[in-house]
Amino acid sequence: MKITSINHPYAKKWKQMIAGERQEKGVFWSDHFRIIQYALDHGLVKELIFPENSGSWDILGRPEGFFINEEVRSFIGLHHNHMALIQRPCLSIENYDRILLIDSIREPGPLGTIIRTARSFGFDGVILTGTSIDPFDRYASRAAQANLFALPVLSLPFPEAVSLLKREGCTLVTPGFFKAGTIEDLPLDNKIAVMISAAGGTSPEILSAADLFCRMDFNCADPVLVSLTASILMHACRNLKGEPL
């Protein structure tokens, strides 16, 4: 189907979605080639948009989609050769042996990287609390890539998340200094939930909820250090048991 008018309802909808002024329940948009390719392979694409004469259409196997002229492309603000509206996966956490909780993370790139790292370290799910950004944000999903379709990522209020983890028998571990042990002291035979705050250091809520503190010799306020802290603790939970990556 060709769309050549900026007054077309689809053109107006896509413009609002790209600008972040509109969301559709159960759907996110992406211009990342690998994410679109994965979604096509698994039947998750709801709408697929190509500028006229886009080479991506051939590379993706000439799927059905919408074709837009240069005027519509400029109007909606599409800067790539493809865009898709993709169904959000509805994944639930089935196993609570290893869970990562991230509180109030607002940087999409580090969030996506953490999600990708959590899956590579064999974690069973990620829980986002507080004012955390949507993991299906354009840049967060780009960094997470197809891992968003394989690793459950839940958004919950912090008290509800803590209650869930305790009900599942998880030991809650967070970086800290007071009565803090070393990484080697972690009780790796237990179910573990690693809790990291991105809101200027470990929050009072996390400190009060934690069962154990693990000494980390740097502050967690910087997004890069949040990623690093989470990665170190997840690596420990995986590798101190002697499990291969």
DSSP strand pairing (83-87 vs 27-30) = antiparallel
Fold classification of 2-87 is 60s Ribosomal Protein L30; Chain: A; (3.30.1330)
Helix, strand, coil shares, percent, the chain, to 5: 40, 20, 40
Break the chain into its structural domains and give their ranges: 2-87, 98-239
Could you check whether 2-87 and 98-239 share the same CATH topology?
A: no
How far, in Å, CA of 23 to CA of 27, rounded?
Answer: 8
Q: What is the pLDDT of residues 185-214, one digit of tens each?
A: 777 778 999 898 887 656 788 888 988 887
Q: List, for residues 11-41, the tens digit of each pLDDT value.
A: 999 999 999 898 888 999 999 999 999 999 9
Q: How far is the C-alpha of 101 from the C-alpha of 147, rounded, in Å? A: 17
Q: For 125-136, how does the pLDDT look when each residue is reduced to its tens digit (9 = 90+)? A: 999 999 999 999
Domain covering 98-239, topology: Alpha/beta knot (3.40.1280)
